Amino acid sequence: MPTAYLDYAATAPVRPEVRRAMRPFLGESFGNPSSAHKLGAMAHEAVEAARAAVAELLCAKPSGIVFTSGGTEAINLALLGVAQQRQTPGHLITSSIEHHATLETARFLERLGWAVTFLPVDSHGLIDPDEVRRAITSKTVLASVMHANNEVGTVEPIDEIAAITRERGVLLHVDAVQSVGKVRLSLGDIDLLSLSAHKLGGPKGIGALYVRPGVSLAPLIHGGGQEGGLRSGTENIAGIAGLGAAAQAVARDAEAEQHRLTQLRDRLADGIVYTTGGVRLNGPPTNRLPGFVHLTIEGLDGHWLVKELSRAGIYAATGSACASGQTEPSHVLTAMGVARETAKGAIRLTLGWATTADDIRFAIQVVPQAVERLRSRRASGDDLAAEYARDCRTARQHVIAGLLTSAFSRLRRSIR
Ligand code: PLP
């Protein structure tokens, strides 16, 4: 059965060059970068080469890059690292459409006595820079704004926001997990910036925080003093090497990919919207990530559509990976003023480095058919929940059967 992976906002397949870059560090080059011998030096070199590659992607100095366990940790380090430098609670400005990594850290700070402003957005998910200006008080220490939203793909006016925070002496952290390498990004007046390897075709469990020279942070993890004391713990060398290779690939292809993915994205959106009734494309028409198509489909539950598409070979999402499986409509759509019933019919199709024109042709054929199938089955009162539960049970049985078969063959080999 043909398949098309259209869930790059959740994670991207690992690039072949990334796998090649990681392999030695999972095998013969297993040294600890803190060791004084040759194996240690090789690991140290790999870490510094990756740091230079990430710095080059951001047009930053390598000394400003701190490796973390991913985007979530980078965001926590930025927000809590600034907060812990202070004796007294301050004021944080963020938006109502941030990723949960930011929202939950902001709520944690609220519990510690910080005041937090959650800025509203317009119907496209755009933050008005003037709202940032108005929200700043004498207590404001930090603003944290995402560069691009992970559900609808809205790209925020980050340069304008950064100019305001700089002018008012407020630190700015930017969650660029979805945007790095996808749209133009200039560090300009940004003080802190988070990124994650697995959105770039790198491995999961590794990311980085850019820290502008002169910005002072307190570490969250204490220990041996690795990463300039900001992130103790023996480094994930294979992961770091993978992030470095992904950063190089993204920097090399950025412009061409932006153009290619914008064309594919528009073909996909038009192909679905023009052939399927009751479909609305969300997000701004222009300031949207190249690989993002976010739709709301009338009279359908996006959750069931994702399952129906998966059966037909299309891997999509209802919104953010973390929110899938939740019955509440997404906080992003709610903040954009999308009605509760409409928000339930949300589906996100996201493209990336390995997406081909064939994937898009396939999706344009399959998505409208799946929508029609679900609509007619709903109309005839089919029990979709029972059927998908049966599918899950069958999938689980396949996994268990596979595990038992390999355990038996290992046992047979050991007896012989
Ligand atoms: N920020 C945004 C905008 C994201 O989309 C994600 C992941 O989906 C994260 C932060 C968290 O990154 P990670 O999965 O590396 O922890």
Mean pLDDT along residues 395-401: 59
| Amino acid 377: pLDDT | 87
| Amino acid 72: pLDDT | 98
Q: Does residue 322 have a pLDDT over 50?
A: no
| Amino acid 1: pLDDT | 87
Burial class (CB in 10 A: 0-12, 13-18, 19+), 95: buried
Give the Å distance between the CA of 202 and the centre of ligand 1: 13
| Amino acid 249: pLDDT | 98
Q: Does residue 396 have a pLDDT over 70?
A: no
Ligand 1 pocket mutation, candidates 102, 177, 192, criterion most atoms within 8 A of CB: 177
Nearest-CA residue for ligand 1 atom 13 is 71
| Amino acid 321: pLDDT | 41
Residues in contact with ligand 1 by the CB-under-6-Å rule are 70-72, 99, 101, 146, 150, 175, 177-178, 196, 207, 321
Nearest-CA residue for ligand 1 atom 14 is 71
| Amino acid 378: pLDDT | 78
Nearest-CA residue for ligand 1 atom 5 is 150
Q: Tokens 């539960």: give the residue.
A: 389
* d(C-alpha 335, C-alpha 223), whole Å: 40
The residues carrying an active-site annotation are 322
Q: What is the pLDDT of residues 188-247, one digit of tens each?
A: 999 999 999 999 999 999 999 999 999 999 999 999 999 999 999 999 999 999 999 999
Q: Please say whether the structural domain 16-250 has been given the CATH code 2.60.40.10.
A: no
Q: What is the pLDDT of residues 365-392, one digit of tens each?
A: 999 999 999 999 877 777 666 666 666 5
Mean pLDDT along residues 282-293: 95
Q: Where in the chain is the domain with CATH 3.90.1150.10?
A: 4-8+253-396
Helix, strand or coil, per DSSP, at residue 111:
helix
Give the Å distance between the CA of 167 and the centre of ligand 1: 29
| Amino acid 380: pLDDT | 75
Q: Does residue 68 have a pLDDT over 90?
A: yes
Give the Å distance between the CA of 68 and the centre of ligand 1: 13
At residue 145 the predicted structure's pLDDT band, cuts being 50, 70 and 90, is: very high
Q: Does residue 413 have a pLDDT over 90?
A: no
* d(C-alpha 19, C-alpha 30), whole Å: 16
Give the Å distance between the CA of 175 and the centre of ligand 1: 8
| Amino acid 391: pLDDT | 61
Q: What is the pLDDT of residues 108-117, one digit of tens each?
A: 999 999 999 9
Ligand 1 pocket mutation, candidates 75, 158, 196, 350, criterion most atoms within 8 A of CB: 196
Give the Å distance between the CA of 11 and the centre of ligand 1: 9
Q: Where in the chain is the domain with CATH 3.40.640.10?
A: 16-250
Helix, strand or coil, per DSSP, at residue 317:
strand
pTM of this prediction exceeds 0.85 = yes
| Amino acid 158: pLDDT | 98
| Amino acid 316: pLDDT | 98
Q: What is the pLDDT of residues 154-180, one digit of tens each?
A: 999 999 999 999 999 999 999 999 999
Task: Return the CATH fold of 4-8+253-396.
Answer: Aspartate Aminotransferase, domain 1 (3.90.1150)
Nearest-CA residue for ligand 1 atom 12 is 71
**CA 186 vs CA 89, 92, 150, 158, 255: distances in Å:** 30, 23, 19, 9, 14
